[in-house]
Structures are given as structure tokens and as C-alpha cells.
Structure 1
């Protein structure tokens, strides 16, 4: 049974800076490190495009950008796993959970930006996500406010 978790953080930076810092390849690697050190993405953040979120060994998740409204929202539809360079969107193991969504909203907030995150997760990842998302968002905040 999927569960949606919600997180938010206020960042003392304008929405374009938060957006650009969140999505730029180098800073993406930095703020997502709590999830998996060295993780990165391949693909495009454009609406309808395929994107892969990968660990240093090349395994990870394959997704589609379900929505991209510049400086407003990004919705990622996770479709399956990447194992040994092969996308798996049809196995029974993947069908048991896919698709799941990861949604970001960028809102104006007192001279800065409130970033709201909603992400679907499975019960066995709940504790990990509850601990890791706040760490990742604090890293993103530090990167944005330093820039």
C-alpha cells in the first residue's frame, strides 16, 4: 500500500534560484547525497521526457516527467527500476508499486521560496524517507542560500 509523505522548507532565495539549484547536475548530486552518495540523473526535466535517477553503479529508477511548469511545479512519475543498464517497467515486482509520484511545488514566501514536496512511498521505505528528506532539503537550502 502506497503512502504519500509531505515535506516543506523555506529557502531565502527566489524561485528561479531554487529551481536551477535543484535541477542542475552538479548541485543535484550534492543535495541528493543523503539518499545515495554519488547519485545523479540522465535525461531531461522537460514535460513528457524520460529521466533516470541512478546510483554510481548505474542502477536506479526510470521515470517520466509528468509535469514541468517553470519555477512552479515538477511532477515525476516513477515507472520502474534500472538494473544493469536495463529498464524494468513490467516485472511483477515493479507492477506491485509503480507508478509512484514525486511532486515539487515552488511558492513565494516572505522574500524567498517555500518548496513543498509530496512523494509516494511504500511502508518499508517510510522510516528512511522520513529521515532522509529533511536532510536533503537542508542541503538544498544551504546550496541555494550560498549562491
Structure 2
């Protein structure tokens, strides 16, 4: 596993960034950087399982290992979903963390992903676009 880091400064308070990240409509918008039509099912409560899907209902399932509203969300990816069937994977410590740090004038959104080599190039292209989407959405909400 390789730890990948991404960061963006957003001219909005953490609550607005958090809502942009995890409210269904906004999640669908920013996560289109990974796959158009992406969505998730399940709750984001600590200990719960959440399923991330593409429009064909394929994707992955993860456990929420940390949820501190407006500050931090951490997922542990546990496996893939193909045709609705969950297939556990031995991805070691495949975590994805979203950390919000408030400064005087903005919120810094940091993302850390423990990724296998096979996904590294995809993440290196998609995450900067995804974070730019979050920034645009958060800064332009009424």
C-alpha cells in the first residue's frame, strides 16, 4: 500500500464543506470525477457499512471507522461489489480519510488514501478533479 495525499483550500466554513462532501446530491456531483453517476447507499455512522456504486451498481463496500462531523471521516475499504454481490478483498489497510482543518479564512480539505499500486494512477488523476469539484460546490452554495 502506498499513502497518497491530496489537499485543497476552500473559501467556506467546515460545515459547508462537510455538507458538500456527504449530502447525497452534492456527493453525486463531486464524485463524478471518479465515475459519472456515482452514489452511495447506507449511513455514515461509525461502524456502519456503506456501499459506493457506479451507475451499473458495481463498486465497493467499506466500513466507516471514524466520523467526527465537520472534521474527519475515515473509511476502511473491505471489498468489491459486482452485479450486487459483495466480494471481500484482502486490501490490508485500504483506508480513505477526509480531514477538514479550519483556518481564519478558509477550510483546508485533506484527503489521505492508502492505495494499492493498481489504483494509484487513477487516484492521481481523479482526486485533484474531485477536490476541485468540492471546492466549486462549497464556495458557490447559497
**TM-score higher than 0.5:** yes
SS in 2 for 1:13: coil
Aligned to 1:113: 107
2:37 matched residue in structure 1: 38
Count of aligned residue pairs for this structure pair: 141
Shift of 1:109: 2.1
* 1:32-75 alpha-carbon deviations (Å, 9 max, x no partner): 11101101000011111110000001010000100001111110
- Match in the other structure for 2:51: 52
Corresponding residue for 2:61? 62
1:134 counterpart residue number = 128
**Post-superposition offset of 1:110:** 3.1
Structure 2 unaligned regions, length at least 5: none
SS of residue matched to 1:33: helix
* Partner-residue secondary structure (3-state), 1:120: strand
Distance 2:137 2:52 in 1: 20
**Structure 1: distance between partners of 2:58 and 2:84:** 7
SS at match of 2:134: helix
Q: Structure 1 residue 99: deviation in Å?
A: 4.3
Match of 1:74, SS?
A: strand
User: What is the CA distance between 1:98 and its match in structure 2?
Assistant: 4.4
**TM-score when normalising by structure 1:** 0.92
Determine if contact 2:93/2:114 at 8 Å carries over to the other structure. Answer: no
More displaced 10-residue stretch of structure 1: 51-60 or 119-128: 119-128
User: 2:34 aligns to what SS in structure 1?
Assistant: coil
How many angstroms does 1:139 deviate by? Answer: 0.6
